[in-house]
Amino acid sequence: MATNYGVTSTGYVRKRLAEILEDMTSRFEDKLGVTVDRTSTSAIYQMFGVIAYELADAHTAMQDTYNAMYPQSASGVSLTNAAALVAIKPIAAEQTTLICTCTGDDGTEITSGSQVQDTNSRTYTNASDGYIQKSAASAITLTLSSVTVGTTYSITIDGTAKSYTAVSGDTASTVLTNIQSQFSFTDRTFTLTNSNLTISMTTRSSTMSVSASNLTISSVSSPITFTCDTYGDIDPGTGDITTIITAVTGWDSVLNEVDATTGRDDETDTELRQRWSQSVYKKASAMIEAIQANVYENVDGVTACAVYENTSDETDSDGRPPHSIEVVVEGGTDSEIASEIFTHKSAGIDTYGSVLESVQDTQGISHNISFNRPTTVKVWLKAVITKNSEDTWADDTLNTIKELLLTAGEDYLVGEDVILQRFLGNIYSNTTGVGYIALTAATGDTAGTYSSDNITITPRQVATFEASRIEVSLSE
């Protein structure tokens, strides 16, 4: 009987059903000196088969127990428990937060717990009381219904007051035009429609304080933060939230005009294993690995992070200045990412990127921190499978292959090229009956031309995969 099963110097070796059945039958023959009929009509052989099934299940259970000890092979609760030994725990799903422009009467209170809804029937709730108010408005509409000669009309915006005294022949449009023309703000717009003047912040999450004399405030818009009631990677499109669920007197409309800070799904086993490897650098500083580990773990919503450095005295081929680092981050808020970069980068080292944030040090001195956001490359996969006639083919093999392709795709990091051959080993290891795999890929919002060539991903890109973009079929 073979002895190289169980825990060995090379790991756990599982004894499979066919091997168990053969060894049991051979041992029986050796002990009794008889030959066992190995056909389906043999009662003894069928009895051995029943026992062998139970032993094979026991071997599988022992292998699973062995694998549960190590992060590379553990999964689910076992992986969580193993990670806890080094003070790492899975990142739970997070909620999407966004700013909605709420429009209505000045002074309207939108109490905590009020809800709005997007076009996909998902609801969003404000966690704290919000107010539609002229002292914190992203937009405001002023109305002049009639003009009185000799009356002075004025508007004050963030402490800057402008006025105009009406003369004979003036209309509401004339008065409002004369007042608005005196302002020189570059971060807001003025729109005059008949007797209505609307002042709007260019950035709708920003606010201003507005007051007026002898003019009527007909509506006010203020930015109020809402949180999605569903956890996960939910990104409502701009303009998708238009429905008020909680009726509030004085609250007339809602609209999301600013990109949301999307949440994230529960951390997968694959993501936890990757973070486990990165987290050994977490308590270090002035290392690109330390920056990567801390940004990923300490900033809510971050799903990917890559750090590059240019140690030379010249600008490198990717445009990074001499002696600089470039951090490419997917997810999370700009301010929190910049703070982590500043905390863990080396003193005197410049940062590079199109996103610019100001971070204050302990002395109150501001520092400009730059980083980049990755652009996504949608990858489409097409696998055509040829069966191996000498091996067992399970009915759900095609679905299993699709899941394996998706799981492997989720492992790809920022800046990592898509190497098609890397997908194949996992399929052959976890399925039976597969003789040959013709794997091709395409990119784009819609599938382009499929090719067996690898996909080049730049340092500022990340390959993304979805089940709807993976096709698995049998060769005819």
Q: Summarize pLDDT for 409-468 with one digit per residue, the tens.
A: 887 888 889 999 989 888 888 888 899 999 999 999 998 899 999 999 998 999 999 989
Residue 24 lies in a domain: yes
Domain identity same for 99 and 214 = yes
Residue 431 lies in a domain: yes
Residue 472, pLDDT score: 94
Mean pLDDT of 67-75: 76
Residue 392 lies in a domain: yes
Q: Name the average pLDDT for the chain.
A: 89
User: Model confidence at 280, in pLDDT bands (50, 70, 90)?
Assistant: low
User: Model confidence at 95, in pLDDT bands (50, 70, 90)?
Assistant: very high
Report d(CA 149, CA 166) in Å as an integer. 5
pLDDT at 408 over 60: yes
Domain identity same for 154 and 230 = yes
Domain boundary pick from 371, 400, 420: 371
pLDDT at 72 over 80: no
Domain boundary pick from 325, 341, 371: 371
Using DSSP, state whether 197 is helix, strand or coil. Answer: strand
The count of other CB atoms within 10 Å of the CB of residue 215 is 20
pLDDT at 300 over 90: no
Is residue 223 a contact partner of residue 258, using CB atoms and an 8 Å limit?
A: yes
Residue 227 lies in a domain: yes
Q: Nearest CA to 308 among 408, 413, 409?
A: 413
pLDDT tens digit sequence for 171-187: 999 999 999 999 999 99
Residue 399, pLDDT score: 92
Residue 86, pLDDT score: 65
Residue 2, pLDDT score: 47
pLDDT at 1 over 50: no
Residue 177 lies in a domain: yes
Mean pLDDT of 135-148: 95
Is residue 100 a contact partner of residue 115, using CB atoms and an 8 Å limit?
A: no
Spatial strand order in the sheet of 210-213: 160-165, 152-157, 210-213
Q: What percentage of the chain carries pLDDT values higher than 70? A: 96
Residue of higher predicted confidence among 237 and 85? 237
pLDDT tens digit sequence for 15-54: 888 889 988 999 998 988 888 888 888 888 899 989 999 9
Q: How many residues does the chain have?
A: 476
User: Model confidence at 106, in pLDDT bands (50, 70, 90)?
Assistant: very high
Domain identity same for 145 and 206 = yes
- Record the tokens describing residue 356, joined without a space: 């610019």
Report d(CA 463, CA 306) in Å as an integer. 13
Domain identity same for 403 and 367 = no
Count the domains in the chain. 4
Domain identity same for 320 and 465 = no
- Record the tokens describing residue 14, joined without a space: 């599982």
Residue 394 lies in a domain: yes
pLDDT at 287 over 80: no
The count of other CB atoms within 10 Å of the CB of residue 401 is 23
Domain identity same for 244 and 386 = no
pLDDT tens digit sequence for 374-389: 998 999 999 999 988 8
Question: What is the CATH classification number for the domain harbouring 316?
Answer: 3.30.300
Residue 79 lies in a domain: no
Domain identity same for 357 and 381 = no
Report d(CA 203, CA 223) in Å as an integer. 10
pLDDT tens digit sequence for 53-62: 999 899 888 9
The pTM score is 0.55
Residue 279, pLDDT score: 61
- Record the tokens describing residue 448, joined without a space: 């382009």
Domain identity same for 102 and 237 = yes
Domain identity same for 101 and 247 = yes
Is residue 450 a contact partner of residue 361, using CB atoms and an 8 Å limit?
A: no
Which residues are within 8 A (CB) of 326 and not within 5 positions of it... i.e. 6 or more apart? 307, 308, 309, 310, 318, 320, 351, 352, 353, 371, 372, 459
Domain boundary pick from 309, 340, 371: 371
Domain identity same for 104 and 250 = yes
Domain identity same for 228 and 345 = no
Residue 115, pLDDT score: 97
Residue 85 lies in a domain: no
Range of the domain at 467: 375-474
Report d(CA 150, CA 373) in Å as an integer. 56
- Which amino acid appears at position 294 of this protein? N
Residue 4, pLDDT score: 81
Report d(CA 105, CA 440) in Å as an integer. 58
Residue 278, pLDDT score: 61
Domain identity same for 386 and 464 = yes
